Structure 1
């Protein structure tokens, strides 16, 4: 049975407003850009955060309306 090898990036540091940059290699691999939506989940043991793309993108115009 083949297992997928994980490649870890970082460490990264949270900013004062609790933001963190996603490495460009991951953004490119997932074809994510400005406005791309992602979801977060906490693993069952509470040791990892999972991030996944939703497949949806919000435009800057949408962002200015909701803000």
Structure 2
């Protein structure tokens, strides 16, 4: 999880994407592992998104 969060931070702070990110996630310019863990604990959340529960049409093959 930490490696993924660090990689995401690296992607958001370089190249063309950096122009659209003012200050990613309120982290220091060079976040430590502890900074990233604290950020994940403070801002992380789960999302509940039920899927695949209804047909997408009237035919027998109209399934997701």
- TM-score by shorter chain over 0.5: no
For the aligned pair, the TM-score class normalised by the smaller chain equals: under 0.3
TM-score (norm 1): 0.26
TM-score (norm 2): 0.27
Which protein has the bigger strand share?
Answer: 1
Which protein has the bigger helix share?
Answer: 2
